[in-house]
Structures are given as structure tokens and as C-alpha cells.
Chain A
Amino acid sequence: MQITLDINGEKKKIICNTGATLLTVLRKQGYFGAKFGGCENGECGACTILLDGNPINSCSILAAQCEGHQIETIESIGEHPQQGWRTTDGLHILQKTFIEVGAVQCGFCTPAMVLAAKSLLDKNSDPSVEQVREVLSGVLCRCTGYLKPVQAVLRAAALMRGESVPPIDLTEQSELLVDPSIDSSIHDLVEKQNHEILTKIMPRVVGIKDTPKKSQIGKSEIKVDAIKLVQGKPAFVSDYQIPNMLYAKVLFSPYAHARIKAIDTAKAKALSGVAAVLTYKDIPRVIYSTAGQSDPIPGPLDSFSLDDKVRFVGDRVAFVAAESPEIAEEALKLIEVEYEELPFILDPAQSMQEGAIQIHDEKEYVNFGETDATRNIAGKIRIDIGNVEEGYQEADYIFEEDYEVPKVQQAHIEPHVVLTYWDEDDRLVIKTSTQVPFHVRRILSPVLQLPMKRIRVIKPRIGGGFGGKQEVLIEDVAAHLTIATRRPVFYEYSRKDEFYSARSRHPMRVHMKTGVKKDGTITANEMVVLSDTGAYGCHGLTVTGNTGSKSMALYVGDGKYRKSPNIRFYADIVYTNTPPAGAYRGYGVPQGFWPLERHIEKITRELNLDSLEFRLKNAVRPGELHPFSTSWSEGREPRPEIIHTVGLEECVRQGKAAIGWDQKYKNPDWRNVPGKKHLKRGVGVAMVMQGTAIPYLDMGGASIKMNDDGSFNLLIGATDLGTGSDTVLGQMAAEILGVPLEDIIVYSSDTDFTPFDKGAYASSTTYISGTAVVKAAEVVAERIRIRAANMLNAQSGNNDLSDKQIVLHGRKAIAPDGRFVTQKDVGYNSLHHTNQEQIMGVGSYVSPVSPPPFAAQFAEVEVDIETGQIEVKKLVMAVDSGVIVNPVTASGQVEGGMIQALGYAVCEEMRYDSKGVPLEKDFNDYHIFRANEIPEMETIFVETYEPSHPFGVKAVAEIPMDGVAPAVGNAILDACGAEVLKNPATPQRIWEALNRK
């Protein structure tokens, strides 16, 4: 049919299918700002546009319905201020404030939030916080935790009203603002903090005294990719369209465990518009692991692209490529499969039982370490540090308890998505939303039977990953179909596919046993884990290893136990017939801290010890050996490692003041809510640590090239999945090269052009890739200084100036006497005038250590003791992540991480029915937090200087996931005495715990 749509004030005649949604039509017309989040009923809101001024989901309206109405897309409201000779109004004020306050992370939902906010401000120039939260609540964001988007809208509103707003101080580092000893000021303090949260953009940074001032490090620069993302530019995989492109779909297994006895694709192939149907009979049988890790993969090889056996509901049966997604979908229905149903295992406790069905009986199975497919064991860990039994004998008390953590999903708003095609040189191009482009290339080479050099992997912007895209999950599907059809193939998961077939956090059952002396000294600590890896072993060993090695390293004990702690960590990682688990932000550590910190709280209460003092007394301290460094290194050879920086004490001091600990904890007066007998308040804490990269293994690389005008191309293999790592790495280069960040053009990642990098995982980018950037920048800086010295010597006619005397600062190469040449002079000189050369540097880095960040996380809750319903009122995180390169982007990581972790604490859980069918299949069933329900949050950075990094940094991205759930669990205990042993703390679990009291 032909329709006329008024898009951004322009009447457009469009021919489309009658049933076409507005989203489909807009994207075909080139309006890529509206994104598709894979949802079925508009739950995510990424496709928001304005219809007659109101935000609506363009995926949930027929284009035909929009005739006669005004459509407004992100493309109409603002643009980059520099458009050559054409004058422009630049960005919309909302776009500017979103960028300024750090409200843009992955950027996938940013255009939607900007438009929703615009609809509000167009009608109401002075909205309340609640109104802003409400209007943003139609758009799901998994990155930001919504705090910064709310701040951006309020700031824009003030500017639009003509008011002056406080500047975002880009360089100020605030010192200690709160004196925790002043108990009486708590109510004022809370009020002040509430106010600050709405208006203050910079997080609190407790800096290191007497550190030299840097020009870039510690400066909240705007993100280098923010301007394009806030405009909704076509930056994501699904924004790329190629002529002659086919659409892929996968037939998923309806059974938890079955053998394919027969499969007939004739009818599907005969359907008009179907280009290919592939089954296990059509492609090479190559065993591999989908885990995106360095070589050798520390886990079993147990996966095929397609197999004659299916191992979970949602496992792959066949691939289809067709002219449209609808035809591909229809073709799936025409594939006739005869299954032989097999017994299946859903409960991990049954996996190792005698007589249990063997899930992996394929002859190609490749063991790693102590895997034993005959017993459904995907991994086994036995670590004894010191002498645990002796430690128990020395203890006055022994505490034991069982805990459980659920399977949860990363829920990045951009689903898994890939586009493959043969380029003009017959090389296979894989454009994919991945955290690990180089691992994708390496792992797929044998699977596709293509030499690695004939594969090019390009990573555009990523709409969130959180570990879910540290998996070679769907790239092979499109690639096989491109090989089969010779045509470009696009494949994108729906939200349902994500819940049925993508990876998730490993669920675990954990037994804790701890020996404690009367004085509160821990004499022995033991964690025994049963980890459910699902149907495949991807990441099972390393995730579970982290569960113990990162969490159980925190409490070594006091006195003689500091030098010789007694720690035991045993784990069995077992197969079940459920969707495989994998990498998820925190990588096993949140699973460790729920039982550990719940258990520690139990001990402090039963022994009537001070909760914070008990923890600090037993916690690891600077200069001590990382207790696991001699016994575990993600399945590789461990080497001893000293922990140099531990900011825990200051984190506790700051965090307890921010939450009002001394006034609230165990305080019966405060606990009661006036006028509401059924409500009880409580506060809780969890101390946590994480790691920073994987020592001796993961490598980051960078190259820097100088241009004529004194700008630089920074090419990195590291993958910014919305975290701001491109920006932070750019800042490091700018610091060394003495230029502003705007002179660094950052590009990531393309296996043909950017240096190798292991990818974005293990909290390693700022630390590992950052050091590589610094090394590359130092090479370039040296060449600039040499050339600048020569230029200045030539100018003066003397030869007395050495390159060692030259300082790079403010786009200049400056001699001690103040003479200088600009970097532009150097650029022109090097490329056009004298002894021409390309000034360029390459750097790479592997770390011998993994310095842990530390944090104290606090939660305040209100519990309805009659129904078990809980409301989390406030979250505080005081974190030692070393030196903070960019406080605004770093605080965005903490806020977003806390809200993700809050889902783990109270509502997120993936469950299966008795046949292994997922009960959660969309964001209606699987609730993730919306803007209008987030608690108050506060982030405090307690800086330490990590000596192993050129700028003293440690990791920040993963640690926020670790402590929220146990802090909430401990706060529930404080509020009403309910000991919830299994998270999430749902109303029923709290109610049951109350009844157990």
C-alpha cells in the first residue's frame, strides 16, 4: 500500500506492506535512531519516536495508523555542530546534557530516552524528579541505572528555562566531605545527600594527597562516542543494510534432551524465498567451545554448530536463510524433525548421581583438566590453602549454612546480532556485536574451515554486553549460511531467543563452613560449590573458579592467619539439560559474595560482634599475599602475587557515613516506621573484592599514528561495550601526548586494522589495554620530542637542545626556555617537510598481576513483614578502584552495576518448568528495573595508587555487581530478622524466612 507520513515535518510518500510496523518503515527510510530491542510487545522502548508529541513504541503501531499524524525522530532534533560550510544549530539541549552528565553509555536506548524527555519538556518546562522518572520509565536501560539520564533531563529543563546551572567541574576532585564522627547531623546529612544527588553530577572522589596534577587523568571528559550515539546514528550492527541480504532464523529444540532420528527439510527448502536450510548433515562436524577466551580455552570442547543431538529446550536443530524474516520463520515450521526423547536432568544435584543419563556422549568431546563427561562433570576444583582442619580445631565456634544463587540473564537491550558477507577479495567479513572480536576470528576459523587470515571481524558499537557477548554465540549461524548461499546474511536474536538460547549467570548451591575464635578471628573458611553450567561447559570452570578465588580471598583471618590463612574452595561444575550459563559481569564473583557475606553477617550477629570491625579485622591488607595466587589462575599455572593497595578501611568510613550506619544498624527505634506497624527498616553491608585482568595471559594492544594537523589515530582492539573504555584509553593517550582528548580519534575494533586485544572482559580494559595505549603513546611521544628538538635547534641555529628536555603539553612541544613548536608543526614537518616519516607507535601489555579493587557496599531496605514485600530505599558504594581516570564515566559504571545487581537481589531469576521449558521469555516475565522505581544511590571513589599501572588504576566495571545482593539480604535481616538464604529475596522467600524465625 502507499501511505503518506509526516516525518520530521516532511511529507513522505511511502510504499510498504499493509502490516508493516512504523519501526520497519522508518528504518527502511534511513531513520536508524529507532532501535529494535527484540521484544515482543514493546517492553523495552528502544524504538521510541514521538507521535503528535508523545513517546510511543514504533514497533507496536502499524505505519498506516500514523497517516495524518506528526512523527518526530531523533534525526530531527539536533546534529553535530561542525557541518563544514553549512551552518547548524548543533545538538539539542537535551542531547548536550545527556552527553555532559555521562547519561550515554552503550547508547542503544539513548535516542529513545532523549525523545521521551523532549516530549515532557515540550509540555512542562519545570518537571519534578518523579515526572522525569515516569517519562523515562517507558525505556529500559541496562547500563546507566537511570540516575544520570534523570540528571540530564533536569539540567536541560533548567537551561531551557534560562536558568544558570552549576558547571560540571571537569577537573575538581572533592576531598572528604563528610565527617563520620558527627552522629547528630545524620538527618541533615540525608537531606543534603538527597539534594546533591539531583544536582551534583560529579561523584565524590576521595583523592590521594600530594599526587601530581594531570591534565587528563581524573578529568570527566565527555565520551568520545557520545555525540554519534545521542543522535542515533547508524552505529550498531543492525543499522547496516547490504543489498541482496538474507535473514537467518534458527529452529530450536522443543525438548530438553533428544536425539534427532530424522530431519526432512524438503518442504522448507521448497518455500518461495528460502535460500538455504542447513542441518547437522550439511556442515562440517567440528567440536569447539563457544567461550570467548584466550588460547587454549580453559574448559571442555563440547559444542558443534549443529549436532544430531539436542541438550536443552532452545538448542539448535537447523538454520534457515530467506529473503525476509517472515519467510524464514515460516520455513522453520516446515522442517520435519523426528526426535527420540531422552531422559533429562534439570536439577544439578542429580547430574553426578549413579545411573544419570550422560549429556555429552559424543566421541569428539575434549576434556580439560578434570572434566569427566561420563559423570556429567564439566569441571572440578579442589583448592586447599593452609590446613583447614587444623583451623577448625583452633576455632571456638564453627558456623555452617547452605546458600543458593539463581540463574540470571545479562539482558543487554541490543540483542545478539551479526551480519556476515563475502567481501570483494572473497574474505568472510563478520560484523558482530561482540566483546571478543579476535577470539571470534580464532575460534570460528576451524569451525568454518576457513584460514584465519580469510576472516575479518568488525565490531561496531555494542548495545550492551555484560559478558553475554563474550561468547561466540551466533556468528557461526550467519557465517555457515553465507558460505552456503554466497550471500550476505543477517541474524538477530529476539528477546525470547535470548531467554531460550543465550548465556546467563551460573546458578550455584553453596555450603559455607567457618571457624572463628571468641575474639572474632577467623581460623578457617570453607566454601563448597555445586555449579550448574547447563548443557555446555562454556566458562564453567573459570567462572566457578572466580566464585571462590575472588570472594574467599577477602577474609584471611587475623594474627598468624594473615601469613598462613586456612581456606578451602571445592567446586563441582556439572552439566544439566538447561540453557548453558556463561560469562556475566562479575564472572562468578557475585555468586561467591552472596553466601560469604550472608555467612559473615550471621557470624557477627550470633557472636554479637561489630559487623564492620569483624570484617575489617579479618580482611586482607596491603602488602599481603593474595591467598589464591599460589593455587589458582583461571585454570592456568598460578604465580604468587602481593596485593599492594587495599582501600577498604576508608571505603567503610565513607560508606557508613553516607548510609547513616551508626544511627540505623540494629537500632530498634529507627527500625520502626511511624504509623505503619507492618513496615520495618534495616541496613546491611557487604565488603567485596574483584580482580583486574588475568595475569600472564590476557594481552591488550594499541597503535597510535600522528596526522598532519597534530591529531592522532588511536587504534585499539579493546571493545568498548558502552563502558566508556574508548574514552578512558583516549584520555591516557592524550595525557602522554600532551593534547586534549578531542585530538585523539579512537577506533575500535577490526581484526584487520586494530592490534590484537583479548577483548572486553575480566575488568581488564583500563588496566591492560590502557597500559598498552600508554606504551604506544610513549613511543610516539619520543618521536615527537626528537623531531621537535631538531626543529627548535634548526630554528635557533644551535644544537644544544636534547629531546629529553622537551615537554609535551597543550598541543605543543616545549623547551625549558619556553620556546616551542606546535604538534601541528611537528605533524607537517614529519609528513611533508624534513626527513619525512610516519610517526607511529605500537604497544602491547600482559600483566604479571591482577590487583584487586575493593568496596564496601551498603543497602537500606523497608520490609513489609506481613507480605514479605521489600523496597530498597538506598544503595551506597564506596569503592577503591585505584586512581579514577574519568569520574563521571566511572560513576556511571557503578550506578548501572548497582541497579543490575539490585535485580539479582530482589527480582531477577530464570526458571524452568518440569520439562525444561523457560518460564521467563520476555521483559514482562523477567523484570528489570525501570527509571521510576530506582532507589537513591550514592557512589564514592576512595582512590589508592596501584603501582603496577602507569596511572595507578584498578578495575571498576564488575565490582558493583558483587555486594548489592548480600547487602540487601543483610539489611532484610537487620530489618525483621528474616534470614533469606536464597536470592533473589522475593516476597515469599522473605515471608518464609520470617516464619522460620
Chain B
Amino acid sequence: MDKIKEKKVIKAYYRPQTIEEATKLLAKTNLEIVPIGGGSFVARHQENIDAVVDLQGLGLNRIESKKDYFLVGATTTLQDLVTNHALPENLRNAAKRDFSYNIRQRKTIAGVIVEKPESSILLLALCALGSKIILLPSNNELDINHWLQSKSIPDKGQFIGYIKIPQNIQFEYESVSKTKEDKPLIAIAISKGQKNAKNVLLSSKNVIAKPITEDEENLKIAYSQLINSDFSPEYFIKTTNTLIQRINRKIK
């Protein structure tokens, strides 16, 4: 009977100082072992976790501006994103929108990517910008949109090291919510890359950064994928189109 109790308790905590060390720990095949950044999710949801590898000692909390992209360390907190003036203002605002001030102090960018919170504006922004996830130690790059839609998880021993956010992509978002700080009912982001190709993405309850087009049939399909939505299909289609038009006016 005590097995049940044991199952609930994290038995080991590790704080590696190098990526190699972290990789070795995470590669242990006999344990349910997970990497943590801020720890805000794992602290409250410990079911079936044997051990945690705290990444805070790896120096992955930096934001670097490269030639045509930003390299954001996995343990960079949302508040670091909000206060870093080198980042585009839209992205900083998006990082501010999902979580309250206290939570932003600990919640990391990789944590948001793994946790996939409902109606996340930050994920919408990262997808609209065509961000990539860089896994360590392999340095493999994954498209974030693909990651979110496919529910993939890194292979044993791999963990998210960086997020690569392209620069020079024009991006805007609009949303509707009951109050300024309530989570969005509908959020739309549109980005325009170097080839002027537009990318229109929708986030809403249980849908994250889903590519859509403005035609009614497509929007009806998108609506049908929402669970317990707070609005009717008519409202969804009309409002989504309104938001798209508003963004288009800004993006021109």
C-alpha cells in the first residue's frame, strides 16, 4: 500500500552545472526524470515524477541578439522577456499577457512551451514569428509550431536549451477578452516574412496557434475544434474576421 505514497514523492533533486552533466542525468532510463526551469508547474504537479533536474546552474537564462535572430535561453523567465528592450515590443507584450506578475518571475519560456497553457498569446507570438526550439545536447532545431501541434517530447537525455526567434519578421496580434487581464477568448496573430507570405494563426480555448484562413468554411472547421467555447460560431467567425482585418491594416 505504501507504494502509492512513494509514487507521489519526488525522490531526487539535481542541480547540474554543465550541459553534459544535465544530459547524463536526464538520460537515466530507469527513472521518470524531468528538467525544470522555474519549477512553477512541477512544484504543484508532481504525479509520476521520480526526480527533477534543475537547469538553473547552466546559464541558460540569457537573451542574445544574433545577426538575424534572438537566441533566448530556455530558463529565461517571462519577466526577463518583458523587460528586455532589445526584443520587439509586440513580443514583450505577448510575454506579459499570459501570466500575472508573480508567476512571470519564475515561469520560463521553455516552461510555457512544454506546458502549453490555454489561449497563450506568447505561444501565438512565437509561432507567428516562426521560432525554433533548439534541443540540447544535439543542437537539433524543431519548428515550434510543429512541436505544439504534434505534442512531441524530446528523446530521453534531450532537453530544450534555447529558443531561436527570427528577427525582421513583421508580426501583429489582436485579441478579445472579457476584461483587460482575463485570458483571451479569441486571439489572432499575423506575421509577414521576407517573401511577404502571410501566416495567420488562431489561439483560443484548447487551440494554440492554429493556422487558419479567412474563409468562412475554414473558420467553421476551426470553431468545431474548440471545446466548451464561450461563444457561438457566428460570433467566432465575425470576430475572427474583424481581428484579421485590424491586423492587416496595421501590417500594411
Question: Which residues does A use to contact B, with CB under 8 Å?
Answer: 1, 17-19, 21, 40-43, 45, 48, 51, 54-57, 59-62, 64-65, 67, 116, 134-139, 270-273, 326-327, 330, 333-334, 864, 866-869, 871, 906-907, 913, 919, 924, 927, 929-930, 932-933, 984, 986-988, 991-992
When A and B form their complex, which 5 residue pairs have the shortest distance between CB atoms, in order from nearest? A138-B102, A19-B10, A138-B101, A907-B178, A927-B182
- Cross-chain contact B42 with A62 (CB below 8 angstroms): yes
Q: Which of B1, B15, B242 has the most CB of A within 10 A?
A: B1
Q: Which of B105, B179, B232 contacts A907 (CB 8 A)?
A: B179
Residues on A with C-beta less than 8 A from B180 are 871, 932-933
Q: Does B197 contact A (CB under 8 A)?
A: no
Residues on A with C-beta less than 8 A from B176 are 864, 867-869, 987
- Cross-chain contact B9 with A57 (CB below 8 angstroms): no
Q: Does B228 contact A (CB under 8 A)?
A: yes
Q: List 17 A-B contacts (CB under 8 A).
A: A41-B41, A41-B44, A55-B105, A57-B40, A60-B39, A62-B39, A138-B101, A270-B1, A869-B176, A869-B177, A907-B178, A933-B180, A986-B178, A987-B176, A987-B178, A987-B185, A988-B185
Q: Which of A55, A867, A913 has the most CB of B within 10 A?
A: A867
Residues on A with C-beta less than 8 A from B181 are 137, 927, 929-930, 932-933
Q: How far is the CB of B5 from chain A (nearest CB, A)?
A: 6
Q: Given the complex of chains A and B, what is the CA–CA distance between A871 and B180 in angstroms?
A: 8
Given contacts A18-B13, A272-B1, A272-B5, contact A116 B101 (CB under 8 A): yes
Q: Given the complex of chains A and B, what is the CA–CA distance between A327 and B181 in angstroms?
A: 37
Q: Which of A55, A60, A919 contacts B228 (CB 8 A)?
A: A919
Given contacts A62-B43, A927-B181, contact A55 B102 (CB under 8 A): yes
Q: Given the complex of chains A and B, what is the CA–CA distance between A212 and B177 in angstroms?
A: 51
In chain B, positions 99-128 with a C-beta closer than 8 Å to chain A are 100-106, 118
Q: Which of B8, B12, B40 contacts A60 (CB 8 A)?
A: B40
Q: Does B216 contact A (CB under 8 A)?
A: no
Q: Does B52 contact A (CB under 8 A)?
A: yes
Q: Which of A18, A134, A272, A932 contacts B12 (CB 8 A)?
A: A18
Q: How far is the CB of B43 from chain A (nearest CB, A)?
A: 5
Residues on B with C-beta less than 8 A from A929 are 179, 181
Interface residue SS majority, chain B = loop
Q: Which of A19, A54, A932, A987 contacts B105 (CB 8 A)?
A: A54
- Cross-chain contact A116 with B39 (CB below 8 angstroms): no
Q: How far is the CB of B47 from chain A (nearest CB, A)?
A: 11
Query: How does the 8 Å CB contact mask read for B1-43 relative to A, with 1 for contact and 0 for none?
Result: 1101100111111010000000000000000000010111111
Interface size class of B (residues with CB under 8 A): 35 or more
Known: A137-B181, A984-B178, A987-B239. 13 other contacts (CB 8 A): A18-B9, A18-B11, A18-B13, A40-B44, A41-B103, A60-B38, A61-B106, A62-B10, A62-B13, A866-B242, A924-B183, A933-B180, A992-B235
Residues on A with C-beta less than 8 A from B172 are none
Q: Given the complex of chains A and B, what is the CA–CA distance between A970 and B38 in angstroms?
A: 45
Q: How far is the CB of B144 from chain A (nearest CB, A)?
A: 22
Question: Which residues does B use to contact A, with CB under 8 Å?
Answer: 1-2, 4-5, 8-13, 15, 36, 38-44, 46, 49, 52, 54, 56, 79, 100-106, 118, 176-183, 185, 228, 230-232, 235, 238-239, 242-243
- Cross-chain contact A55 with B11 (CB below 8 angstroms): no
- Cross-chain contact B101 with A137 (CB below 8 angstroms): yes
Closest to A43 in B: B100
Q: Given the complex of chains A and B, what is the CA–CA distance between A271 and B235 in angstroms?
A: 52
Q: Which of A48, A54, A913, A919 has the most CB of B within 10 A?
A: A54
- Cross-chain contact A273 with B179 (CB below 8 angstroms): no
Q: Given the complex of chains A and B, what is the CA–CA distance between A688 and B9 in angstroms?
A: 54
Residues on A with C-beta less than 8 A from B38 are 60-61
Q: Given the complex of chains A and B, what is the CA–CA distance between A924 and B106 in angstroms?
A: 17
- Cross-chain contact A62 with B52 (CB below 8 angstroms): yes
Given contacts A62-B42, A866-B242, contact A991 B102 (CB under 8 A): no
- Cross-chain contact B102 with A271 (CB below 8 angstroms): no
Residues on B with C-beta less than 8 A from A139 are 102
Q: How far is the CB of A63 from chain B (nearest CB, A)?
A: 9
Q: How far is the CB of B83 from chain A (nearest CB, A)?
A: 11
Given contacts A65-B54, A137-B181, contact A330 B101 (CB under 8 A): no
Residues on A with C-beta less than 8 A from B104 are 138
Q: Which of B9, B56, B228, B230 contacts A986 (CB 8 A)?
A: B230
Residues on B with C-beta less than 8 A from A56 are 102, 105-106
Q: How far is the CB of A574 from chain B (nearest CB, A)?
A: 25
Given contacts A65-B54, A927-B182, A988-B232, contact A57 B106 (CB under 8 A): yes
Closest to A986 in B: B178
- Cross-chain contact A17 with B9 (CB below 8 angstroms): yes
- Cross-chain contact A927 with B183 (CB below 8 angstroms): yes
Q: Given the complex of chains A and B, what is the CA–CA distance between A591 and B4 in angstroms?
A: 47
- Cross-chain contact A41 with B40 (CB below 8 angstroms): yes
Q: How far is the CB of B57 from chain A (nearest CB, A)?
A: 9
Q: Which of B40, B105, B176 has the most CB of A within 10 A?
A: B105
Residues on B with C-beta less than 8 A from A54 are 79, 105
Q: Given the complex of chains A and B, what is the CA–CA distance between A913 and B230 in angstroms?
A: 12
Closest to B119 in A: A924
- Cross-chain contact B43 with A21 (CB below 8 angstroms): yes
Residues on B with C-beta less than 8 A from A1 are 13
